[in-house]
Chain A
Amino acid sequence: MATGAVALRLRALRKAYGDVVAVDGIDLDASAGECFALLGPNGAGKTTTIEICEGLLEPDSGTVELLGLNWVSDERRLRQRLGVQLQETQLADKLTVEETVRLFRSFYERGPAVADVVAMVELEEKSGGRVGQLSGGQKQRLAIACALVGDPDLLFLDEPTTGLDPQGRRQVWQLIEQFKRDGRTIILTTHYMDEAERLSDHVAIMDHGRIIALGTPRELIASIGVDHVVEFAAEGAALDPAALEGLQGVRRARAENGGFQLQVTELHLAVPALLDELDGRGIALTELRTHSATLEDVFVMLTGRHLRED
């Protein structure tokens, strides 16, 4: 497929479960060859959206077009061209890695050899081992291997690193980066902002079944008009965040979790100004952190909440 062609197109997609509207009118285009992330907190409607795309759920209204095909008339052809990893699937514990991949490979008309897929996800050493004996990260790589056996044109990964330890996450990321280099189209859901930022070309931020922001990670971060975030905690006299908004280089200030958060355009001006201000009020600083603005800050800015409420 030519780069630039639309691999996935959603129009006015809607799905409700009883009174709960899970997906509330979504429009979205993902181009061939890109990695497109749906970022949002749990319950934002990401999984419902991706399962509608995968043909596992029927939308109440709206249209889904994948690779120029649709679920109503082209289901058989589409299934052959998609790779799917679902969020909660536990593969059969009693089978070996090789047997599991071979089973999934048998469903596809074309695709790489079983041993090649196992090697691609770096499970060669576990090839003859039972699935039940694998670590979380290895199980997830096996799930991804099962999504790759048909040499898919479009790959859906639903929360591929949720529940993994840092090493497991990094290995999955490297795998996804490899697919990107191979020119595959990837649709990814995640509630980790670093994952979306690192892997995706375009991000749709979802909340309550809607897309509340859409763009490249860089565009989204730039859209909030702050480059840095300063977080601090202090003790001494009470402090009104509004008093800090007048400081040089500070765009916005708010109290949070017993500390304060400043959204800042010019870090080199804002930090000295803050220190002077606190000093002048006789307030002692107990913690001070700064970081470049992230997609998390975009989400906080748009919703007033964090991606992960924990």
Chain B
Amino acid sequence: MKIDTGRRSLIDRPLAQLTLVRFREFRREPEAVFWVFVFPILLAAGLGIAFRNRPAEVLKIGAETVPLAGELRTEKSLAVEVMSRTAGERGLRTGRLVLLALAGAAGGAVYRYDDTNPDGRTARLLAERAILRAAGVRAPAPESDSLVREPGSRYIDFLIPGLLGLNLMGSGMWGMGFAIVDARRRHLLKRLVASPMSRAEYLLSFLLSRLVLLFVEVAVLLGFGVAVFGTPLRGSLWELAALCVLSAFCFSALGLLSASRVRTIEAASGLMNFIMLPMWIFSGVFFSSERFPAAVQPFIQALPLTAVANALRANMIEGAGLAQVWGELAIISAWLAVSFFVALKLFRWR
């Protein structure tokens, strides 16, 4: 048999082969492709549609008497139905109505509504305005509306950077953690270290494949946001790319840490969910993290996903430079460095 000893082409070098293996395994796992590329788009599309800024909705209310209904109908934002008190109470309970106007003492009205429901409070104000208008009361000075609907101040603009951060977290942690735990479970890691493979190159191949997949997944999600919702990209794109790379490496390091010891996929999933769940909830992906009480804010602000989401939003929506998000950069870098070194200390090849 012929033995080759000469120099090999670039593609047959270990790092290239290890990286190719990463791509092949990813591409041949339809579920992974779905969660990384398709799921974030479905989520953005779903939430974008659910929370899109619609023309102010017409609120359904009930009125006990015909004269009362007539007065209320002068308000175009209210859909008024005349009904008995019992039918109205049922409508309130089932959420079909947001307010029920009953005839009150001295020709007045009694409003029944849930004051913790914003729609109920709005209906209450609109009803009062209608009755005043019917009585001929006018505003003391002219008033007019100027509506805010431009990109950058909508919910979807808040959401897209958050989803991008969430996606970087998910693919970084699963991409790293799953493959490593699976290789350990199969005793494949042990087989690899029994060969002359460089352990550093093995880990490096994960980062290289992450970089390429990262480019694709960021481009897909942002491209979708820009094309469908007109998401603004006000900051420098290079700085945005740098933020994404730093964040992806940070979450890959966390993934490596979660995968450093465990032997089963179940244990790895549990551990990674345990790490990621608090960030899903607290890190302000879907709504501002500032809504949580002040006492837990230091904890929330120290989470890597909070820093990533804030930095991405600052870049995309406010056009902030890297210098303006140095605090977030410091938090992300610290997580990256600490997780990576602890992971290397704990890592078990067998």
**A residues neighboring B (CB under 8 Å):** 54-56, 76, 79-80, 82, 84, 86, 88-92, 94-95, 99, 102-113, 116, 120, 146, 150-151
13 contacts between A and B (CB under 8 A): A88-B187, A90-B186, A91-B186, A94-B25, A95-B24, A99-B24, A106-B12, A110-B4, A113-B4, A120-B1, A146-B195, A150-B195, A150-B196
Q: In the complex, which residues of chain B have a beta carbon less than 8 angstroms from the beta carbon of A90?
A: 186-188
Q: For the complex, is B266 an interface residue (Cβ under 8 Å from A)?
A: no
Contact of A108 among B187, B190, B196 (CB under 8 A): B196
Contact in complex: A86, B196 (CB < 8 Å): no
Contact of A89 among B17, B188, B197 (CB under 8 A): B188
Chain B residues numbered 15-73 whose CB sits less than 8 Å from any CB in chain A: 16-18, 20-21, 24-25, 28-29
- Chain A residue, CB-CB nearest to B27: A94
Known contacts A84-B194, A107-B195, A116-B2; A95 and B188 CB within 8 A of each other: no
For B13, B187, B193, B195, the residue with the greatest tally of chain A CB atoms inside 10 Å of its CB is B195
Q: In the complex, which residues of chain A have a beta carbon less than 8 angstroms from the beta carbon of B1?
A: 112, 116, 120
Contact in complex: B14, A106 (CB < 8 Å): yes
Shortest 6 CB-CB contacts between residues of A and residues of B: A79-B196, A90-B186, A106-B17, A110-B5, A94-B28, A89-B191
Contact in complex: A56, B24 (CB < 8 Å): no
**B residues neighboring A (CB under 8 Å):** 1-5, 8, 12-14, 16-18, 20-21, 24-25, 28-29, 183, 186-188, 190-191, 193-197, 350
Q: In the complex, which residues of chain B have a beta carbon less than 8 angstroms from the beta carbon of A55?
A: 194
- Chain A residue, CB-CB nearest to B8: A106
Contact in complex: B24, A94 (CB < 8 Å): yes
Nearest chain B CB to A90's CB is how many angstroms away? 4
Q: What's the Cα separation between A269 and B193 when bound, in Å?
A: 58
Q: In the complex, which residues of chain B have a beta carbon less than 8 angstroms from the beta carbon of A56?
A: 190, 193-194, 350
- Chain A residue, CB-CB nearest to B183: A92
Contact in complex: B21, A103 (CB < 8 Å): yes
Known contacts A106-B16, A107-B196; A151 and B3 CB within 8 A of each other: yes
- Chain B residue, CB-CB nearest to A105: B12
Contact in complex: B194, A106 (CB < 8 Å): no
Nearest chain A CB to B242's CB is how many angstroms away? 32
Q: What's the Cα separation between A156 and B84 when bound, in Å?
A: 89
Nearest chain A CB to B323's CB is how many angstroms away? 43
Q: In the complex, which residues of chain B have a beta carbon less than 8 angstroms from the beta carbon of A105?
A: 12
- Chain A residue, CB-CB nearest to B17: A106
Contact in complex: A103, B191 (CB < 8 Å): no
Contact of B4 among A88, A94, A102, A111 (CB under 8 A): A111
Q: In the complex, which residues of chain B have a beta carbon less than 8 angstroms from the beta carbon of A146?
A: 191, 195
- Chain B residue, CB-CB nearest to A109: B5
- Chain B residue, CB-CB nearest to A77: B196
- Chain A residue, CB-CB nearest to B189: A89
Q: In the complex, which residues of chain B have a beta carbon less than 8 angstroms from the beta carbon of A103?
A: 17-18, 21
Q: In the complex, which residues of chain A have a beta carbon less than 8 angstroms from the beta carbon of B191?
A: 84, 86, 89, 91, 146
Q: What's the Cα separation between A54 and B191 when bound, in Å?
A: 10
Q: What's the Cα separation between A94 and B33 when bound, in Å?
A: 14
Given contacts A89-B191, A107-B197, 16 further A-B contacts (CB under 8 A): A89-B186, A89-B187, A91-B188, A92-B21, A92-B183, A94-B24, A99-B24, A102-B12, A104-B195, A106-B8, A106-B16, A107-B196, A108-B195, A112-B4, A146-B195, A150-B195
- Chain B residue, CB-CB nearest to A102: B17
Q: In the complex, which residues of chain B have a beta carbon less than 8 angstroms from the beta carbon of A84?
A: 191, 194-195
Known contacts A103-B21, A120-B1; A80 and B194 CB within 8 A of each other: no
Q: In the complex, which residues of chain A have a beta carbon less than 8 angstroms from the beta carbon of B18?
A: 103, 106
Q: What's the Cα separation between A110 and B196 when bound, in Å?
A: 12
Contact in complex: B24, A86 (CB < 8 Å): no
- Chain B residue, CB-CB nearest to A91: B188
